[in-house]
Amino acid sequence: MKKSLLPKKTMKNTASPDGAITSLTANERNILNFIESEILTSGLSPSYQEICQHFGFASFNSVQNYVKQLTKKGYLRAQPHQKRGLEVLRSATAFASQLHHQFQDRTTTESLQDGLLQGPVGIRPIPLLGSVAAGSPIERITSGETLTVPSALMKNPEQTFALSVAGDSMAEEGIHDKDWIIVLKQDHAKNGDLVVASIQSEATVKRIYYHPKHQPDKRLELRPSNSEYQSQWYKESDVQIKGLVTGLLRKF
């Protein structure tokens, strides 16, 4: 028997509200993508048997259940008594597009004051406190403007701030010049944490490591993620931890 191409996951029978675009499970998205692809390629929707064979389902019941879910959520229409009667009403990318437009439309101060967007993904403004070096420490962290951030990147929005990144010493972590990092305010960290640290009022982003057996002036290591840079060593008393990096934003 052919092994199913879809991950095992319990389906939720939750109908979408009138006119709303509801998110898809990974399995639903895979099936809808396959149906769309077949229609674009051949001009005909796949039969239940073809869907069953493509994903390795043991019976048509699985296909019928997924079609029912996609119909409830407004993505498909199934014409009765037709072998190839599946009609795509919304693309598998419709929900992501809706979130993108909501994100773009809610950038004014008035809309931000209304709170988070409805649904599983929201946005909200957090303080943008200046620049942080991904190299040698540079600018002082200062008060400034705000940055609108997806809520999923924040563990505690009330204790979260953003910094712009300057330099490339953290490039192997995927942190590049002009990125924004999302930081949870915290004054302590454990070995290996990605932190924003302040040294003599200048800020840097690095991995932090403690070496209690080293000489006193080299017990705290701020390690870059770029082979062209070397670690920076300090007395523990010379370094203030400002927070843990919890997310990253990039403008293309």
Give the confidence band of 68 by pLDDT, cuts at 50, 70, 90: very high
pLDDT at res. 244: 94
Asked if residue 174 and residue 222 are part of one domain, the reply reads: yes
**Mean pLDDT (whole number) for 194-205:** 89
Task: Specify the range with the lowest mean pLDDT, choosing from 69-83, 111-125, 224-238.
Answer: 111-125
Distance between CA atoms of residues 236 and 217, nearest Å:
8
User: What does DSSP say about strands 239-249 and 232-234: parallel, antiparallel, or unpaired?
Assistant: unpaired
Distance between CA atoms of residues 246 and 160, nearest Å:
9
- pLDDT tens digits, 124-142: 788 888 788 775 544 445 5
CA dihedral 14, 71, 123, 240 (to 10 degrees): 70
> Which of 116, 134, 215 lies closest to 180, judged by CA?
134
Read off the amino acid at residue 85: G
Does residue 186 register a pLDDT over 90?
Answer: yes
Tally of domains in the chain: 2
Give the whole-number percent of the chain exceeding pLDDT 90: 26
pLDDT at res. 110: 39
Domain membership of residue 103 (yes or no) is no
Per mean pLDDT, which of 12-16, 130-134, 243-247 is the most reliable? 243-247
What are the b/e assignments for 37-64, b being 16+ CB within 10 Å? ebbeeeeebbbbebbbebbebeeeebbe
Let me know how long the chain is: 252
Residues 6/34, Cβ–Cβ less than 8 Å: no
- Domain containing 87 — which CATH number? 1.10.10.10
Domain membership of residue 12 (yes or no) is no
pLDDT at res. 137: 47
pLDDT at res. 120: 36
pLDDT at res. 114: 42
Tokens at residue 81, please?
Answer: 């008594």
pLDDT at res. 20: 57
Domain membership of residue 111 (yes or no) is no
The catalytic site residues sit at 169, 206
Domain interval for residue 202: 122-249
Does residue 107 register a pLDDT over 80?
Answer: no
The SS3 call for residue 183 is strand
- Domain containing 130 — which CATH number? 2.10.109.10
Tokens at residue 206, please?
Answer: 């690095």
Asked if residue 43 and residue 153 are part of one domain, the reply reads: no
Give the confidence band of 67 by pLDDT, cuts at 50, 70, 90: very high
Burial of 209 (0-12, 13-18, 19+ CB in 10 A): middle
